[in-house]
Amino acid sequence: MSSKDGPGASPGPSSEAARKRLRQQATRDTAPEMALRRELHRRGLRYRVHVRLLQEVRRTSDIVFRRAGVAVDVRGCWWHGCDDHRPAPRANRDWWFQKRERNRSRDDDTLRRLEAEGWRVLVVWEHEEISSAADRVELAVRGCVIKRQAAENSANFGRALRGSRRYRDV
């Protein structure tokens, strides 16, 4: 990556170390998402990936369970600025800070919009253990499916429970 890649007149990553970190981060951003998807699949959950749920803005949700109305947003600690892992780079501090702040406010905005449209949004951070993240997602998805099915026909509640064990997003 060259320094021309920075937005406008702002400098991009200045050192070789920063460039290396940028490259690593780009792949690390997707690694937790892939791991989570594998684990959810292993548990019998089926989902869509990178779905655009909002009409008014061009943003996609990472993992989507349409029938349950659950959307999962997997966030890399560095780019999305989690509260625990926000290292301040020595060079170009402002450029990085502004980039992360932009990401954070866009994340917040997306979450608000999705929730306004009735989606249950789960945020999974890169630093979260995959199994506990998968637990949260599984609980939310199966819970939402059961609730919806039960509401449709309370007599079928037992069947809804059994059916949800092999959840498929259709």
Q: Which residues bind Zn ion (CB under 5 A)?
A: 77, 82, 84-85, 127
Q: Given CA atoms 126, 59, 139, 168 in this order, what sign does their dihedral have? A: negative
Q: Of 60, 83, 56, 55, which is closest to residue 71 (Cα–Cα)? A: 60
Amino acid, res. 8: G
Using the minimum distance from each CB to Zn ion, give the nearer residue, 65 or 78. 78
- Report phi then psi at 86, rounded to 5: -125, 70
> Smallest gap, in angstroms, from Cβ of residue 128 to Zn ion?
8
> Smallest gap, in angstroms, from Cβ of residue 49 to Zn ion?
22
Tokens 């954070």 sit on residue: 104
Using the minimum distance from each CB to Zn ion, give the nearer residue, 50 or 85. 85
Using the minimum distance from each CB to Zn ion, give the nearer residue, 66 or 104. 104
> Smallest gap, in angstroms, from Cβ of residue 82 to Zn ion?
3
Q: Of 147, 155, 123, which is closest to residue 36 (Cα–Cα)? A: 123
- Report phi then psi at 126, rounded to 5: -50, -35
Q: Which residue is nearest to Zn ion (CB)?
A: 77
Using the minimum distance from each CB to Zn ion, give the nearer residue, 124 or 145. 124
> Smallest gap, in angstroms, from Cβ of residue 10 to Zn ion?
25
